[in-house]
Chain A
Amino acid sequence: KAGVTQTPRYLIKTRGQQVTLSCSPISGHRSVSWYQQTPGQGLQFLFEYFSETQRNKGNFPGRFSGRQFSNSRSEMNVSTLELGDSALYLCASRLRTSGGEFFGPGTRLTVL
């Protein structure tokens, strides 16, 4: 069974631009979560989607948004990029309500 895939793997943007990242969960997994990883703040939860609905949201500004499609694939969008948005963005999927999440390789976003 294929793992979680994320595209693109690397991205360079400039301040003020917007970006869309894509995630395909493991087949059969309906829950998709997004995390931001930075050296200073570590791994922080952004939001979780289940059956196309946002079920949980972390403490990030409204510039960070996401959605989930009927095939469970998910996208996250960051508008009006800031330098501090440079990070590794990780997507994770899980099969059940409890149990561990399985992470993709991440998208490395650099904002110049």
Chain B
Amino acid sequence: GQQLNQNPQSMFIQEGEDVSMNCTSSSIFNTWLWYKQDPGEGPVLLIALYKAGELTSNGRLTAQFGITRKDSFLNISASIPSDVGIYFCAGDSNNAGNMLTFGGGTRLMVKP
């Protein structure tokens, strides 16, 4: 089962508002990733974080790699209707090979 606790599970906000979501883990990860998934499609990589404390932006999206390496945050500023979708965090321990562990997702709904 999943080892990442992602919150909130869903959000219904007004267009123009800022959004924050987070993931916490009992395990340490060396890489944190944030994905967005639209209905009927695979997840699309939004931001990748590689160092504890790292803060990275991609347009209106900003994500941070927690200092303890057990958490990460994603913020979306000035939300727009096309931000609607499910956002997933994923942790990668980068041991031999690859094995992503995913959070349960945050369903974002934006009211125009």
Contact = CB atoms under 8 A, between A and B. Distances in A.
Contacts of B98: 31, 33, 48, 55-56, 94, 97, 101
B45 A45 contact: no
Contacts of B99: 33, 45, 48, 56, 58
Which interface residue of A31, A45, A100 has the most chain B CB atoms within 10 A? A100
Interface stretch (B17-25, B76-84, B101-109): B101-109
**A contact patch SS:** strand
Instruction: Specify the main secondary structure of chain B where it touches its partner.
Output: loop
Given A99-B48, A105-B41, A55 B96 contact: yes
Contacts of A4: 42
Given A42-B102, A55-B97, A56-B98, A98 B30 contact: yes
B94 A98 contact: yes
A45 B96 contact: no
A11 interface: no
Contact of A104 (B35, B42, B97, B102): B42
B31 A98 contact: yes
